[in-house]
Amino acid sequence: TAPSPLRPAARAYAYRGLPASRFALPWRAAIEGGLPDRYATEILGPFKEALAQQIGRALQFFYSTGAFNRVDRIVLAGGAAGIRGIDELVAERLDTTTLVADPFTHLSLSSKVGPAALHRDAPAMMTAVGLALRGFD
């Protein structure tokens, strides 16, 4: 059984004084829109802002340690990159073109693969796809 991605969210909800029991959902139900009504504004919004702030801090550190003072674009990968609107928020806050990574863009897919589900989960699969392609020409 995969660990529940909702445990950190439940802690965040409890931190804001809201009942953590609202997160007693199966993972798939949460992904497909089964989250509590105020989740987007009270939990996801602050999380997205904090993520953009951390990316900004990482860029400042990068600029301070090298010969570069700007980046042309930011590519978001990993599970959090799949959050709807995260790329627009990061682009706006950091004034930098921001994309969500999709490692399947130039790969052919089996007809058995659902393109919508694959596109939704693609940012979280960057490492797996990279390792799978390692050594291929």
Q: Where are the alpha helices (DSSP H) in 2-101?
A: 6-15, 27-31, 39, 45-64, 86-94
Task: Locate 2 and state its tokens.
Answer: 């995969």
61 and 126 share a domain?
yes
Domain assignment of residue 126, given as a range:
38-133
31 and 9 share a domain?
yes
Report the candidate in 29, 115, 121 with the shortest Cα–Cα distance to residue 80.
121
Domain of 127, CATH number, reads 3.30.420.40
Which pLDDT does position 1 carry in this prediction? 46
Q: 99 and 87 in contact (C-beta within 8 Å)? A: yes
Number of structural domains in the chain: 2
Question: What dihedral do alpha carbons 12, 15, 18, 21 form, nearest 10°?
Answer: 60
Digit-by-digit pLDDT tens for the chain (137 residues) are 444 444 555 555 555 555 555 555 555 665 566 667 777 787 788 889 999 999 999 999 999 998 888 999 999 999 889 888 999 999 999 999 999 999 998 888 889 988 888 888 899 999 999 898 887 65
24 and 47 share a domain?
no
